[in-house]
Amino acid sequence: MKGIDLLPQETAKPRRSRLSWITGLIVVSLFVFALSFLYTAKTTELNRAMEVLSTLESDFAGYAWIDEELVRTGKRKKDIDSKIESATVELEDHLPTDEILRKLPDLMPEGVRLVQFSLADDGRILFSGEATALSRVAGLVVSLEQFDLIDDVKLLKATRVRESDKTFEFETTGKLSPTGGD
């Protein structure tokens, strides 16, 4: 089938007017302007976001020391825990501290006040305190020597605190008995 042109042959197809060309040009220009405006706005927004991100990254880098400190603290905690565990095992197995501390008040003569009690890993014991008379310090040394958990008791020093006062400061040492008592 062949197409039939119904328009008279003398009549030419209508030409587009200048107005339609100008309208098309304006529409295309507005479209390009709108896209340019959106592109500029989004680019500006993106640049601001990049600046904020850069600031946040530098702030975050400033707090990196917290992670390092947490790692160091974790290591220190493990060291402390292992020391506590080994000290607990040592105290449970070798040093009868509880028994000594329980019996210590019974060993103290009247007028003697114990200020410090130290027990070293090798079994050495140091007693420091105050007494109202030298005879009281001697009584403490005798009591400690008779205690079955402590051997080799020695009076290291006994000094008068003040001439007007009759108080003496003393230091006494001993060693844990190898038998460990009863």
Which residue matches tokens 């420091």? 128
Which residue matches tokens 């007028």? 111
Q: Which helix (H) or strand (E) holds 158?
A: strand 150-160
Give residues with Cβ within 8 angstroms of 13, minimum separation 6. 7
- Give the C-alpha separation, 62 to 59, whole Å: 5
What pLDDT is recorded for position 15? 66
Output the CA angle 78-83-85, nearest 5 degrees.
Answer: 95
Give residues with Cβ within 8 angstroms of 121, minimum separation 6. 90
Supply the angle between the helices 134-146 and 97-107 in degrees, to the nearest 10: 140
Secondary structure (3-state) at 175: strand
Query: In the CATH scheme, what is the code of domain 96-176?
Result: 3.30.1360.100
The pTM for the full model equals: 0.46
What pLDDT is recorded for position 83? 86
What pLDDT is recorded for position 12? 58
> Left (φ > 0), alpha (ψ -120 to 50) or beta: where does 180 sit?
left
What pLDDT is recorded for position 47? 95
DSSP class of residue 168 equals E
- Give the C-alpha separation, 121 to 110, whole Å: 30
Domain ranges of the chain: 96-176
- Give the C-alpha separation, 97 to 91, whole Å: 7
What pLDDT is recorded for position 8? 62
> Left (φ > 0), alpha (ψ -120 to 50) or beta: where does 7 sit?
beta
**How does pLDDT run along the chain (182 residues), one tens digit per residue?**
577 766 666 655 666 678 888 999 999 999 999 999 999 999 999 999 999 999 988 888 778 788 888 899 999 999 999 888 877 776 665 556 777 788 888 888 898 988 888 888 778 889 999 998 888 999 999 998 988 888 889 999 988 887 777 888 999 999 887 654 44
- Give the C-alpha separation, 4 to 1, whole Å: 9
